[in-house]
Amino acid sequence: MFNRYALTAALVAALSSVASQADERSLRPAPTSLNSAFHRDDPGLPTPFGAYISALLAQQQNQADASADFYQEAVDTASDSPAVVRRAFFQFVYSGRIADAASVASQFAAGDEAGGDLGVLVPLVGHFAAGEWDALHGKAAVAPRSGLSAFLVPILEAWAHAARGDGMAAQTALDPLEARGGFTALVAEQRAYLADFLGDRDTARASYQSLTDTDRPATLQPYVQYAALLARTESRSAAQAFLETTMRRFGGNQFLAREGQRIMAGRGPSLNAAHPMGAVASILYRLASEFVRGNSRQAAVFYLRVAEYLQPQHDDIKVTLGAQFEELDDYLSAARTYGDIATDSPLASVARQRRISALRQLEDKGLVMSALDAALDLEPESFAHRLSHADILREEGAYEKAVAVYSDLIAEDRPKRKSDWYLYFARGVCFDQMDDWGKAEADMLTALGLSPDEPTTLNYLGYSWIDRDMNHARATEMIEKALAARPDDGFINDSLGWVHYLQGDYGSAIEYLELAVSLEPTDAVINDHLGDAYWQAGRRVEARYQWRQVLQSNPEDDVRTAALEKLRRGLNGKS
């Protein structure tokens, strides 16, 4: 039976990096000897080893909250253990337990750089959030001014002074940062926000005008803050005029549109950079975005968590944070993060859909259906929610019901889009599983017409033709094209390997199929194909090993029966 597509991955495919703070030291496995990090002179004292191992296991299984709890238990009994303290610190930050992370950071040994910039930042942010200005300035005075701390510490100090109403000290705190070079634009932006917060409207207005006149702004936040200032101090019509000009300049940017609506409704920016908490959170959010662009997902999570600590209701931070959890395959944390977004948020619909997607990865049918039902109750006409419903029906084998939903989506009176290839592809899969190849092929061809280079369709249709002894030349060309686009796709490697197998080229078949198995080691069909290729090449011990692997990979009934028969009698009864 054909079983070579990952529809979830296909749907996802349709739809200045800096170094990570979580370096390899924070990700090392547990020490192998109790005489290393866990040595105790008194054997009667409680050992953190069990809690530490439990924390590691929970971490590996993406149980972030449980892992943090176990680390806390380990820290309580081994506060002098560098291994425990370091990993507990990062797990606390990852889990959003910033206060606990700040407490653990205070236990780093003198000169211990394991926490990196985060080890400096988190305790300062803890004092900042609590309004403990003297403690913050005391720690900032001895904090290193290198790496990311070079600009984070002065900004924290400046806003701490501003929070106390000392505008001169706030502006002066930024002078060393400006003198370093390379931070001119960042400092100018912070000076504008400080003037705005401290009520120096003329300076703020002039600074915002200068920032918004630049040809290549680093961020659109100054435009939002300037519009908010105009709305407060001049008139809503002045703010509206500025926003309309800015929207035309930036092509209807959604962020500007959303923030503009808030400002015109009298609510102010969602992340107010002209306020101590918002200003620091905004910097951290932007820093995290740089990590995202550099594919440093874990580092992005760390800084997003600190930003979230300062601005817990900011939904853009949560959506970005949830996306990073998904990239890290931590779907439980992603679902929880999306679930924290209020139902009346402008991002609520996006959050509901992403939460459903994350829950689907957890393979908990009850949770998925509960979330989907709730989403459909709130948005019964939502295209995204209905598509998720169709996908779930297909995954459960309710092909006729899935076809009905896909067909309704296809028939909707709306402009057709290139991304509609997925609707035809998914419906075609259903038709194929219903043994209606005529309709399946027609949908696949339509999908290919909408998106001619889509590897998922090229592979599925190409393999289906090969499997049916049809259109060999075109099918092979399509599979090769798909593989060129996705050389690390195990299913496509399997398809091309099977093409070579059917042509009697067992050496080439084994080459592709071995790679396919390495990429998708638990797929029963791929293991079965490799076993067949080994058998034909005379490698019978290896063939039987692969067929045994088939039985361990939750195969469909026909694949299991075939593998058992081959183990008893060999391929085609030739032992």
Residues in the chain: 575
Q: Between these two residues, 32 and 273, which has the higher pLDDT value? A: 273
What is the rounded CA–CA span in Å between residue 187 and residue 201? 18
Nearest alpha carbon to residue 74 among 63, 65, 87: 87
Give the pLDDT band (50/70/90) at residue 546.
Answer: very high
Nearest alpha carbon to residue 103 among 131, 136, 67, 127: 127
- pTM (whole model) above 0.85: no
What is the rounded CA–CA span in Å between residue 30 and residue 288? 28
**pLDDT tens digits, 414-469:** 888 899 999 999 999 999 999 999 999 999 999 999 999 999 999 999 999 999 99
Let me know: does 538 contact 502? Beta carbons within 8 Å.
Answer: no
Q: What is the mean pLDDT of the chain?
A: 87
Average pLDDT over residues 256-279: 93
* Tokens found for residue 285: 């959010």
What pLDDT, on a 0 to 100 scale, did the predictor assign at position 540? Answer: 94
Average pLDDT over residues 506-516: 96
What pLDDT, on a 0 to 100 scale, did the predictor assign at position 46? Answer: 52
Average pLDDT over residues 348-362: 92
Question: 286: burial class by Cβ within 10 Å (0-12, 13-18, 19+)?
Answer: middle
What is the rounded CA–CA span in Å between residue 442 and residue 424? 9
Which residue matches tokens 């996306």? 323
- Among 38-52, 95-109, 120-134, 354-368, name the most confident range: 120-134
Helix (H, G, I), strand (E, B) or coil at 490: helix
Percentage of the chain beyond pLDDT 70 is 90
**pLDDT tens digits, 455-489:** 999 999 999 999 999 999 999 999 999 999 999 99
Exposure string (b/e) for 149-172, b if CB count within 10 Å is 16 or more?
bbbbbbbbbbbbbbbeebbeebbe
What pLDDT, on a 0 to 100 scale, did the predictor assign at position 180? Answer: 86
Q: How far is CA 61 from CA 54, 64, 97, 331, 362, in A?
A: 11, 8, 19, 11, 11
What pLDDT, on a 0 to 100 scale, did the predictor assign at position 15? Answer: 28
What pLDDT, on a 0 to 100 scale, did the predictor assign at position 24? Answer: 30
Q: How many helices (H) and strands (E) does the chain have?
A: 32, 0
Give the pLDDT band (50/70/90) at residue 45.
Answer: very low
Domains in the chain with CATH codes: 18-110 (1.25.40), 453-575 (1.25.40.10)
Let me know: does 379 contact 372? Beta carbons within 8 Å.
Answer: no
Q: How far is CA 340 from CA 317, 332, 380, in A?
A: 11, 13, 21
Percentage of the chain beyond pLDDT 90 is 69
* Tokens found for residue 510: 């084994």
What is the rounded CA–CA span in Å between residue 51 and residue 466? 54
What is the rounded CA–CA span in Å between residue 134 and residue 132? 6
What pLDDT, on a 0 to 100 scale, did the predictor assign at position 41? Answer: 42
Q: For Cα atoms 278, 283, 287, give the angle at the middle one, nearest 5 degrees.
A: 145
**pLDDT tens digits, 74-99:** 888 876 777 788 889 999 999 999 99
Average pLDDT over residues 548-572: 92
What pLDDT, on a 0 to 100 scale, did the predictor assign at position 2? Answer: 35
Give the pLDDT band (50/70/90) at residue 19.
Answer: very low
In the predicted structure, residue 39 carries a pLDDT above the cut 70: no
* Tokens found for residue 416: 């057709």
Q: Which of 312-321, 360-369, 392-401 has the lowest mean pLDDT?
A: 360-369
Q: How far is CA 332 from CA 63, 358, 359, 366, 410, in A?
A: 7, 7, 7, 14, 32
The identity of residue 161, as a single letter, is: H
What pLDDT, on a 0 to 100 scale, did the predictor assign at position 468? Answer: 93
**pLDDT tens digits, 176-219:** 998 887 888 999 999 999 999 999 999 999 999 999 998 888 89
Give the pLDDT band (50/70/90) at residue 401.
Answer: very high
Let me know: does 469 contact 441? Beta carbons within 8 Å.
Answer: no
- Among 30-34, 63-67, 230-234, 507-511, name the most confident range: 507-511
Strands of 38-136 (E only): list them: none
In the predicted structure, residue 259 carries a pLDDT above the cut 90: yes
Nearest alpha carbon to residue 7 among 485, 522, 552, 387: 387
Q: Which of 102-106, 370-374, 498-502 has the lowest mean pLDDT?
A: 102-106
In the predicted structure, residue 399 carries a pLDDT above the cut 50: yes
What pLDDT, on a 0 to 100 scale, did the predictor assign at position 48? Answer: 58
